[in-house]
């Protein structure tokens, strides 16, 4: 890869940096506030606030559906639980964002390796919920695939960045082996939605790393083959795809979600005024976007979509000035993973994608999923931390592509 001499810091900028950091030694938080991407932090907090209100709106539907003659759940049962998990997730987000980049990288690699190992234990020690064996009981329920999302982009970015330093390292094959193992473990649960998400994240990063066009074609063909195989080998996937292609019935989850979403019109029926949500399964988790549509209107749904797009674009725009390849790959992986999950969930609610059982990031109710999403945002903030007073060389994707092409 072509190297460029670092851009020296001019005297005035260096003086400002030294003065600022000396004054900021009253606490490391002042330095942290200057270095993190405050735009990403603010957007994440806004989405979490929207999630709090949305779960409060969807909680009665799920609480009543799960109530029995012997046990009656309070209408705000899931709202109270969600607030507790959000507080924990916010703490994890802020704590992770204070990590130095090297420590965040090590933590992400160890976490990813640990969760892959945990996925191997799920078929033997896991317990089943709604027909899927995805959770481990470690005193509290743990879904390894949720926490794998926190470290997966970091692990791939670290391995692929080694490839650029030494072309002889077979890192493309190593990363392919990792994503193949993860996909096999997820499909054993089965969890087709997460399989698509992790495979898509891997594909995005290898494209960014300069993979040969022929390999792209092979990977794409392999993906199509796997999707076709999934249709014929997994009855649950076959039923969902058939229902989606056939238009469904009034009793299908996706159809119910679409009807609920449109029932509120442009401005919504008002908080706790929705009626269709009461018949909607998982109103507080998988179909929270439909609850937002019914009670707060399609205009509110548009705002949510814009916020997700803004968060992803904010990450990518910040990377334009980034000189470290690992940072570019890891942050892009997080953005692709975050945006992909939101995209799939919203399409399911719009009846444009088969049901996948995937939550809406930072908004849906969840225990481990809420905590994992907060931790992911925190690690993203840690990896993209940058001293605002020091300018280094700019990372150029065009340089990367030309250098790899020359070496091939």
Write down the pTM of the prediction: 0.82
Tell me what pLDDT residue 14 has: 45
d(C-alpha 292, C-alpha 125), whole Å: 37
Q: pLDDT at residue 252 above 80?
A: no
Q: pLDDT at residue 192 above 70?
A: yes
d(C-alpha 375, C-alpha 154), whole Å: 13
- Average pLDDT in the 151-158 region? 94
> Is 345:286 a contact under the CB 8 Å cutoff?
yes
Q: pLDDT at residue 89 above 50?
A: yes
Q: pLDDT at residue 251 above 80?
A: no
- Average pLDDT in the 4-12 region? 49
- Average pLDDT in the 25-42 region? 81
- Average pLDDT in the 172-189 region? 88
Instruction: Give the three-state DSSP class for 73.
Output: coil
> Is 72:60 a contact under the CB 8 Å cutoff?
no
Q: pLDDT at residue 387 above 80?
A: no
Render the burial of 108-134: b for 16+ CB within 10 Å, e for the rest.
bbebbeebbebbeebeeebeeeeeebb
Instruction: Summarize pLDDT for 276-330 with one digit per residue, the tens.
Output: 888 788 888 888 999 999 999 999 999 999 999 999 999 999 898 888 889 999 9
- Average pLDDT in the 139-164 region? 88
- Average pLDDT in the 335-364 region? 87
Instruction: Summarize pLDDT for 159-175 with one digit per residue, the tens.
Output: 998 877 777 778 888 88
Name the residue among 147, 150, 170, 149 with its Cα closest to residue 160. Answer: 170
Name the residue among 241, 164, 234, 247 with its Cα closest to residue 206. Answer: 164
d(C-alpha 225, C-alpha 220), whole Å: 9
Tell me what pLDDT residue 213 has: 59
d(C-alpha 263, C-alpha 335), whole Å: 32
d(C-alpha 41, C-alpha 381), whole Å: 8
- Average pLDDT in the 125-130 region? 72
């Amino acid at each position: 890869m072509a190297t460029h001499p670092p851009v020296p810091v001019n005297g005035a900028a260096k003086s400002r940096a030294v003065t600022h950091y000396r004054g900021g030694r009253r606490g490391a938080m002042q330095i942290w506030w200057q270095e993190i991407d405050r735009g990403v932090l603010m957007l994440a907090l806004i989405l979490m606030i929207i999630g709090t209100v949305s779960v409060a709106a969807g909680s009665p539907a799920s609480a009543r559906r799960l109530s029995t003659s012997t046990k009656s759940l309070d209408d705000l049962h899931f709202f109270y639980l969600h607030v507790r998990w959000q507080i924990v997730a916010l703490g994890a987000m802020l704590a992770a964002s204070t990590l130095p980049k090297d420590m965040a990288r090590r933590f992400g690699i160890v976490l990813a390796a640990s969760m892959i190992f945990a996925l191997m234990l799920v078929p033997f020690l896991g317990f089943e919920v709604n027909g899927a064996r995805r959770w481990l009981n470690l005193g509290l329920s743990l879904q390894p695939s949720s926490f794998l999302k926190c470290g997966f982009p970091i692990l791939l970015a670290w391995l692929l960045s080694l490839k650029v330093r030494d072309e002889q390292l077979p890192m493309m094959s190593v990363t392919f082996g990792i994503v193949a193992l993860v996909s096999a473990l997820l499909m054993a649960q089965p969890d087709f939605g997460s399989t698509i998400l992790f495979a898509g994240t891997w594909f995005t990063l290898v494209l960014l790393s300069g993979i040969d066009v022929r390999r792209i074609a092979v990977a794409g063909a392999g993906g199509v083959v796997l999707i076709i195989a999934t249709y014929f080998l997994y009855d649950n996937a076959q039923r969902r795809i058939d229902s989606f292609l056939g238009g469904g019935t009034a009793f299908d989850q996706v159809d119910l979600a679409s009807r609920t979403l449109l029932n509120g019109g442009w401005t919504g029926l008002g908080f706790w005024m929705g009626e269709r949500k009461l018949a909607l399964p998982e109103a507080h988790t998988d179909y929270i976007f439909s609850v937002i549509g019914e009670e707060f209107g399609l205009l509110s749904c548009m705002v949510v979509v814009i916020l997700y797009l803004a968060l992803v674009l904010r990450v990518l725009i910040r990377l334009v000035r980034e000189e470290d390849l690992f940072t570019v790959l890891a942050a892009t992986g997080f953005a692709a993973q975050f945006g992909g999950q939101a995209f799939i969930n919203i399409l399911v609610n719009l009846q444009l994608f088969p049901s996948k059982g995937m939550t809406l990031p930072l908004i849906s109710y969840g225990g481990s999923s809420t905590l994992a999403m907060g931790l992911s945002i925190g690690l993203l903030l840690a990896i993209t931390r940058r001293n605002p007073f020091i300018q280094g060389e700019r990372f150029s994707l065009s340089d990367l592509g030309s250098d790899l092409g020359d070496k091939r």
